[in-house]
Amino acid sequence: MRVLITGAKGQLGRGLVASAPAEADVEAVDIDECDLTDADAIGDLVTTIEPDIVINAAAYTAVDKAESDEETARAINSGAVKAIVDAHDGKLVHVSTDFVFDGRSSRAYQPDDTRAPISAYGRTKAEGEDHLRESDILVRTAWVYTAGGTNFVRTMLRLMRDKPALNVVSDQIGAPTWAPGLAATIWGLLDKDASGTFHHSDAGTASWYDFAVAIQEEALALGLLDAAIPITPITTADYPTPAARPAFSLLDSSKTRALLQDGHTHWRVNLRQMLREEKTLG
């Protein structure tokens, strides 16, 4: 089974490469090997490698920057997906986001719920989803983090060391996602020869404030921080950003868990594991 992974140096990409099954002959590429704004380059790459499966873990994820650079975001989040589909007859696994929803739901979003993005990033990711075929796999996720990556957890650790206090938004609700767990789900869906739309995030619910408080508590217990600092909950209105964020973006992963029969690990358990790995990195 020959597998092409795009976005190989990103948080999910690294997890996919590290956890690839023995039978997978993996070709992993990132932006330095292929310009994902260049449809011809993507087509040439796919034609040259001739993969049985493509896992597209690449994305333009600079949510705020996308508001002023939607053209580039669209080229990567939508155009690259179309280029892969045009060049590849086999299965595509495409990773998308909670940002395709407007955040007005009163329950966790189901895979077939109506999309209504409220940002350039969300719009371009929704457009990318529309290029998929019935035989492909779409996996939506949210709040991804991993040891050694660029993410909320590591940003909080840095700020907790450098600042006397923090203010963190408390009225945006979702669930964190540990990248190795997401990678395991993707390989599991491929093993089941699945197709269609699936959701994956860790079990439980949190605000960004809840997440920050847990990060500090767990980091203190592991000796990653020397002392606690005050963390104050604030509203989204108190922290304006160029891009609107969904106020509620919890994803219902029950369909995924039922298919894979793999249980559902709570986000705080995975956070603890990530911080152990972070401590090992030094």
The bridge status of strand 231-234 relative to strand 144-145 is unpaired
Helix (H) or strand (E) holding 272: helix 267-281
Structure tokens at 124: 């371009």
Structure tokens at 118: 């409220």
Structure tokens at 156: 């909080």
Q: What are phi and psi of 69, to 5 degrees?
A: -140, 50
- Catalytic, 109? Answer no
Q: What are phi and psi of 109, to 5 degrees?
A: -70, 130
Instruction: To the nearest 10°, report the CA torsion of 154, 109, 262, 7.
Output: -50
In the set 60, 109, 121, 209, the catalytic residue is 121
Instruction: To the nearest 10°, report the CA torsion of 71, 90, 145, 258.
Output: 130
Structure tokens at 105: 């739901």
Just list the catalytic residues.
121
